Amino acid sequence: MLTALEQYDPSIYELIRQEAARQSGCIRLIPSENYVSRAVMQASGSCLTNKYAEGYPGKRYYEGQQVTDLIETVARERAKKVFKADHANVQPYSGSVANLAAYSALIEPGDMIMGMALPHGGHLTHGWKVSSTSRFFRSVSYPINPATGRLDYDHIRDLAKKHHPKVIISGATAYPREIDFEVFEGIAKEVGAYHVSDIAHIAGLVVAGIHKSPVPYADIVSTTSHKTLRGPRGGMLLCKAEHAAKVDRAVFPGLQGGPHMHTVTAIAVAMAEADTPEFQAYARQIVKNAKALAAKLLEHGFDLLSGGTDNHLMLIDLRKKGIPGKKLAKALDRARIVTNYNTIPGDDAPPMNPNGVRIGTPAITTRGFKEAQAEQVATFIKRVAENVDNESVIEEVGKEVLLLCSQFPVPDHFIMPNSTRS
């Protein structure tokens, strides 16, 4: 039988099928990517996509909310439980919107925020100059220590005392080490600032107890619902009870209209999945795989920012190899290994052709890779890097990657079967 999509729009059906095959037949090392479960996928594609639900449970601006109110309440309560938070808002469309809402809940336009510099591992929405957050708020950035590749908390404290920001942001998008959220709380208190923590990348590790949670130490915690958390593409805010009303107003009506109820529904499912022993085992394996991958890369002569990793990602510094990050990322992609080229601290190359490559282990861990496979991936990367202009070697690595992927298949709901049309 033909699916509705195949019958109505065969060209899009075919493109989706191709993407499913691509995801199945490659090693996905982008740290922010993962595979969701069948249940999350079904919730995301459910009839909840048909429903507008502007407002909050019990206080909507549209009728017909008997079910949506229950779903959003379940999602909020599950998020509160797994993160041990006083309050949760599950409506932000993305982590970027969640970050802007967090700042808006606490301070006024024109006030100063302070976050990690983008080239040092921070996110655009931590006040970087090309982001709208730097237009709505004045911003100052803190670097990492170039000698250690780690955060220098004394320097961050000195910057805070000099600039007196109203919000200090902890968290990163390309930082491979554990962050001491308690120290950030102390710095914020010293200068009379609020502490906002962005754990979009490590949320799954936090829920599983692999990394310290910022919830006890931050006024507001922002996160995406995907990445290591392995849910749909959305955002969430967690906060202390005293900030709950301000957070909710900042999201709606401050920045958004109606929430995407199909995503909220899928978040509810993902939070239930995160509250299981199986999820904890998965999160532990993410870190084991990352450490094994990092150790083997170091053995193969690669330089890694800070010399390794505590979490799910690592940043390869290619300057000693003499290979531009973009060139290696493109070669790896041809070998069916998907990464992203990335600026590294102290990089004098342009952002579109930097000297770094960022990799991570959430997606391969979901597929069932263990340490032995992570080490094999490191050897694949070495072979491609040593033969970056040799297409025959790259093609051979790609065949070996495909064979490895066949031993760790993606769950069947990611594979759209070929048409049965006669």
Of the residues 14, 33, 52, 240, only one is catalytic, namely: 52
Contact 78, 129 (CB under 8 A): no
pLDDT digits (tens, 9 = 90+) for 203-243: 999 999 999 999 999 999 999 999 999 999 999 999 999 99
Contact 104, 196 (CB under 8 A): no
Give the chain's domains with CATH numbers: 41-274 (3.40.640.10), 277-413 (3.90.1150.10)
pLDDT digits (tens, 9 = 90+) for 389-410: 999 999 999 999 999 999 999 8
Of the residues 68, 125, 133, 224, only one is catalytic, namely: 224
Torsion of Cα atoms, 283 then 286 then 292 then 294, to 10°: -120
Of the residues 6, 72, 198, 310, only one is catalytic, namely: 198
DSSP-assigned states of every residue in 8-37: H-HHHHHHHHHHHHHHHSSEE--TT-----
Whole-angstrom Cα distance, residue 79 to residue 209?
15
pLDDT digits (tens, 9 = 90+) for 34-45: 999 999 999 999
- pLDDT at residue 415 tops 50: no
Whole-angstrom Cα distance, residue 54 to residue 152?
43
Annotated catalytic residue 194: no
pLDDT digits (tens, 9 = 90+) for 149-195: 999 999 999 999 999 999 999 999 999 999 999 999 999 999 999 99
The angle at the Cα of 39, spanning 291 to 5, to the nearest 5 degrees, equals: 115
Strands 144-145 and 220-224: what pairing? Answer: unpaired
Of the residues 54, 111, 180, 303, only one is catalytic, namely: 54
Nearest to 104 by CA among 205, 235, 194, 225: 194
The angle at the Cα of 337, spanning 334 to 342, to the nearest 5 degrees, equals: 95
Annotated catalytic residue 321: no
- pLDDT at residue 262 tops 90: yes
Whole-angstrom Cα distance, residue 339 to residue 328?
9
- Averaged pLDDT, 371-390: 98
Contact 201, 362 (CB under 8 A): no
pLDDT, averaged across the chain: 95
Of the residues 157, 227, 336, 367, only one is catalytic, namely: 227
- pLDDT at residue 361 tops 70: yes
pLDDT digits (tens, 9 = 90+) for 291-337: 999 999 999 999 999 999 999 999 999 999 999 999 999 999 999 99
- pLDDT at residue 23 tops 50: yes
Annotated catalytic residue 358: no
- Averaged pLDDT, 33-62: 96
Nearest to 337 by CA among 295, 292, 384: 384
Contact 16, 5 (CB under 8 A): yes
pLDDT computed for residue 417 by the predictor? 40
- pLDDT at residue 422 tops 50: no
Out of 99-113, 385-399, 404-418, least confident range: 404-418
Q: In this prediction, what percent of the chain has a pLDDT beyond 70?
A: 97
Q: What one-letter code names the amino acid at 279?
A: F
Annotated catalytic residue 224: yes
- Averaged pLDDT, 248-252: 98
pLDDT computed for residue 180 by the predictor? 97
- pLDDT at residue 420 tops 80: no
Annotated catalytic residue 198: yes
Annotated catalytic residue 242: no
226: three-class secondary structure by DSSP: coil
Residue 421 pLDDT grade (very low, low, confident, very high; cuts 50, 70, 90) = very low
Whole-angstrom Cα distance, residue 314 to residue 304?
7
Q: What are the E-state strand segments in 172-312?
A: 194-198, 220-224, 235-239, 303-304
Whole-angstrom Cα distance, residue 244 to residue 59?
15
- Averaged pLDDT, 357-377: 97
pLDDT computed for residue 410 by the predictor? 87
- pLDDT at residue 416 tops 60: no
**Burial (0-12, 13-18, 19+ Cβ within 10 Å), 335:** buried
Q: What are the E-state strand segments in 255-307?
A: 303-304
